Chains A and B, each alone.
Chain A
Amino acid sequence: MEPCKVTHNSETHHNEPFIRKYIFSVDHKIIGLQYGITSLLFLFFGFCLILIMRWQLAYPEEPVPIVGSLLGGGGILLPEIYNSLGAMHGTIMIFLGVVPLAVGAFGNYFIPLQIGAPDMAFPKLNMASYWSYFIGGVIMVGSFFTPDGPARSGWTSYPPLADIEVGQTIWLIGMVFLITSSLLGSINVITTIIQLRAPGLTWMRLPFFIWSQFVTAFLLLLAFPPLEAAAVLQLMDRLVGTSFFLPSGLIISGEQLAVSGGGSPLLWQHLFWFLAHPEVYVLILPAMGIVGEVIANNTRKPLWGYKSMVYGVVFLGFMSFIVWAHHMFITGMGTAMSSFFQTTTMIISIPSIIILSAMFISLWGGSIRFNTPMLFALAFLPMFGIGGLTGLPLGLAAADIHLHDTYYVIGHFHYVVAPGTIFALFAGIYYWFPKMTGRKMSELLGKLHFWPSLIFMNGIFMPMFIQGLAGVSRRLWDGGLEYAHASGVLQWNEFMSVSAWLLGLAQIPFIINVIYSIKNGEKVGRNPWESTTLEWVAPSPPLPHVNFEKIPQVYHSPYEYSVPDREKDFTPQNEPIKE
């Protein structure tokens, strides 16, 4: 493979006007930061929505403090607004928060750096990807200010409900932009990793993070088009009177619905989950990648079973395309279909177990440093473990009969994404902040951020398993108050809500830390963590547009820590082991 030649140098970019340099930039680092800042703001926004909803769940029909006046209804969170906030919480957290942060921000910033490339393969496509995401985000936020308000049919948008509820049109238009953004980004990531690796950086010398981003990009590229098509079909159902997802003979509020009919509500679910299950791995794989980096660095030893982890990630990627209908066992599925999807679901648990086990085993024999990034990465392991394990009963159709659409499901996927992925993303921010700014974040504030976050995350999500076992349905405006079977577990609602609000407070040290450290953090050099991968060869922050003074030559695998008979306990990839 021909390595990319640096055809331009930083000199020619020195006099860029502000707008070219920071707004419509084509530098992957600026775009990465744009993605990072935007997605963190969206994460915060999506989190605030749930904080409001949790008030209604803890204290049903009491006026919401602080923001109550914005909600109408005398400050009480009405059911229709509750449904809107629920749909938007899911949409924003997944499509505007976690994925753009994991892929758009970390992927963009660190893929070229870790593979020793001057930029992404298609810088302008990269810019287009960010702005498409931005427009999608503006549309989604804008929907709060429309007369009908935002979508209220859940982030899953099942028709016929989504076909007839208000607010859905604008959601679909927003989704088209977000999907387009992901498609543009994924092509870029794939091309960059295939074409722009530094000389000597063979596939099995790639950092685990790169592998995870590589597989993730394929998932986005191949899984999103069906949803984009489905979104356009649903848009047509709503706007031009088609009936792709509407069967004949619907009666809504006593009136026959004037549509041609003949469509299938289940078609949407298949198209939706064909994306949305791989999407789960889009959320988790980059997180595993970050955790792998941080663990290797802070145990001061190579990742254990690197190869099995790589094969595991690739296998996960393949399998993630054939498990989607395990979300649909309760739709009336026959034995053949359900057996197939149960089997694939059990199979996909194996590579996850292999990867997670490899990371646990990597700790053995290490010389473990407990800095803030490492704390978040370590916490990821058992938290993701809980999230993954609680997926097992949901993947068995028989057990799913009782647990489907209950709080057990909510607990399960939040363990995967919140104390799982989001912790990994925090680990990434603390770990790579010095590379992005040349300064370290405060360790004290970091620990003040980590410990309460860990406690309150569990305070929120652990009781959900209890409520789910009791059979409490999800998406209930009153949190189950209406139902007798919920009466024994209702007391947890207040506990979970208080935990959620405290989790909000626990983010204050993080926000202060980021803002404070940009200007006042401890100044550091190129490689403050004494790491081995290529991003640490570049200056901190890396040079605009070209990253490296000289494209590095790679000599060995990514995590050569504590190589026997060497003085230093780390050997960067661009340093030969035998001189």
Chain B
Amino acid sequence: MTKILQKLGLPINLSIDGIAIDNVISLVHWLMLVLFIGWGAFFIISIFKFRQSKNQKADYEGVKSHLSSVLEVAVVVIELIILVGFAFPIWANRVNNVPDASENIVHARIIAQQFVWNFHYPGEDGVFGQTSLDLVDEIDNPIGLNRSSEGGADDIVTINQLHIPVNTKIRLDLSSKDVIHSFSLPELRVKQDAIPGMVIPVHFEATMTTEEFLVEMEGTSREGKGLEIACAQLCGLGHYRMRGYLTIHDQEGYEAWLEKEKSYLDEESDDDWDDDW
């Protein structure tokens, strides 16, 4: 079924937790298909067999068997199996197994705003610098980061660019500055609302780098188009263009990216020095 759904449009899955999600989607589509074909076949046979020109007199009682009740019970049982066997455990994993920042993971924050995704990485020390409303400056400091706070000096802040390593647990803490947005990575089967006033973690582990994904996409309509972050919740007139970019690196590539970002930071602080003098 996953193959059929992929033919229809479902993107290939690039995350470990996505496998289970695809399984549930497939299972429930099987159930839907069986029910629909069952109803449909019964429907078509009935309207042909019992059209007035063929069957002049209706049967007062109609169907006498109570097979339908048996089938309905079967549907209940299947739904229960899907719920208890699949849906509940997946959700428990999603919300209860959020990896702790002390583990060997990549931990970053996402601060959504109308129509931009801001990413905040803690930098080498693994400590997020403080942020403050009063420091927010839409051009220079969209998240209001206090560089002189503890751990703040080496923090990396990017706009619309999420870089992560492959085969590593990623934890992203989502919040929003203004309205509700929804952080969606269709290929990783990740979606979570970013709600102002709340911080909500999502976690996942990618199984493929962007480069490998692009190779996979050769010859399809996706060819040459990388991974993106979509906004799934109406957030204003720019909702349609609230797009970010996701790059999944191999470990070396990710470290190289971090190094590059760090060098920008050094340049920036040099700039500040110059400005002050």
Residues in chain A within 8 A of chain B (CB atoms): 78-80, 83, 152-154, 158-161, 164-165, 247-254, 256, 261, 263-266, 299-302, 304-305, 330-335, 338-339, 342-343, 346, 349-350, 353-354, 356-358, 360-370, 378, 381-382, 385-386, 389-390, 392-393, 396-399, 401-406, 465-471, 473-478, 482-485, 487-489, 561-564, 569
Contacts and interface: CB of A to CB of B under 8 A. Distances in A.
Nearest to B34: A389
The 5 closest A-B pairs by CB, nearest first: A247-B197, A471-B186, A365-B59, A484-B225, A470-B9
B232 A473 contact: yes
Contacts of B200: 332
Contacts of A248: 197
A475 B79 CA distance: 31
B178 A252 contact: yes
A381 B113 contact: no
B68 A357 contact: yes
Given A367-B55, A402-B25, 6 more contacts: A158-B180, A247-B198, A252-B114, A398-B90, A402-B191, A488-B222
A567 to B, nearest CB: 11
A80 B240 CA distance: 11
A389 B36 contact: yes
Contact of A367 (B57, B86, B90, B91): B57
A343 to B, nearest CB: 6
Contact of B231 (A363, A364, A398, A473): A473
B74 to A, nearest CB: 11
Contact of B193 (A331, A466, A489): A331
B58 A561 contact: yes
Contacts of A385: 35-36, 39-40
B265 to A, nearest CB: 23
B11 to A, nearest CB: 6
A404 B52 contact: no
- Candidate in A256, A386, A401 with the most chain B CB atoms within 10 angstroms: A401
Nearest to A329: B91
Nearest to A334: B95
Interface in B173-209: 177-180, 182, 184, 186-187, 189-193, 195-198, 200
Nearest to B234: A475
B28 A393 contact: yes
A154 B234 contact: yes
Nearest to A400: B191
Interface in B27-63: 28-29, 31-32, 35-36, 39-40, 42-43, 46-47, 50-52, 55-63
A561 B52 CA distance: 14
B221 interface: yes
A465 B23 CA distance: 18
A476 B240 contact: yes
Interface string B227-265: 110111111111111010000000000000000000000
Interface in B79-96: 79-80, 82-83, 86-88, 90-92, 94-96
Contact of B40 (A158, A368, A382, A401): A382
16 contacts: A153-B234, A161-B180, A263-B197, A304-B62, A332-B195, A333-B95, A342-B88, A357-B71, A364-B42, A365-B63, A393-B32, A397-B87, A403-B25, A469-B8, A470-B186, A489-B9
Interface stretch (B100-108, B119-127, B131-139): B131-139
A402 to B, nearest CB: 5
A365 B47 contact: no
Given A331-B195, A563-B60, A363 B43 contact: yes
A265 B197 contact: yes
A346 B79 contact: yes
A248, A249, A252, A399, most chain B CB atoms within 10 A: A399
Contacts of A364: 42, 46, 50, 62-63
Nearest to B86: A398
A401 B58 contact: no
From B80, B91, B95, B184, residue with most partner A Cβ within 10 Å: B91
Contacts of B5: 469
Contact of A363 (B47, B68, B197, B235): B47
Chain B: number of interface residues, binned into ranges: 35 or more
Contact of B191 (A83, A401, A487): A401
Contact of B189 (A152, A253, A304, A402): A402
Given A256-B133, A484-B226, A357 B72 contact: yes
Contacts of A247: 196-198
Contact of A569 (B58, B63, B234): B58
A339 B207 CA distance: 28
B141 to A, nearest CB: 11
Given A353-B75, A401-B189, A402-B186, A473 B57 contact: no
Interface of B: 5, 8-11, 20-21, 24-25, 28-29, 31-32, 35-36, 39-40, 42-43, 46-47, 50-52, 55-63, 68, 71-72, 75-76, 79-80, 82-83, 86-88, 90-92, 94-96, 113-114, 133, 136-138, 177-180, 182, 184, 186-187, 189-193, 195-198, 200, 220-222, 225-228, 230-241, 243
A473 B42 CA distance: 35
A370 B76 contact: no
B238 A79 contact: yes
Contacts of B36: 382, 385-386, 389
Given A350-B75, A363-B47, A562-B60, A160 B68 contact: no
B17 to A, nearest CB: 9
B68 A483 contact: no
Contacts of A467: 9
A399 B21 contact: yes
A476 to B, nearest CB: 4
A251 B133 contact: yes
Given A367-B57, A367-B58, A488-B9, A396 B240 contact: no
Nearest to B186: A471
A389 B32 contact: yes
Contact of A482 (B25, B80, B95, B241): B241
B83 A342 contact: yes
Contact of B138 (A254, A378, A401, A489): A254
A369 B52 contact: yes
A393 B57 contact: no
A2 to B, nearest CB: 34
B233 to A, nearest CB: 6
Contacts of A254: 136-138
Given A83-B234, A471-B184, A488-B220, A361 B91 contact: no
A396 B234 CA distance: 22
Contacts of B47: 363, 368, 370, 378
A396 B39 contact: no
A353 B232 CA distance: 31
Contact of A350 (B11, B72, B83): B72
B114 to A, nearest CB: 7
A160 B180 contact: yes
A246 to B, nearest CB: 8
A396 B28 contact: yes
Among B9, B57, B180, the most chain A Cβ lie within 10 Å of the Cβ of: B9
Contacts of A365: 50, 55, 58-59, 61-63
B72 A405 contact: no
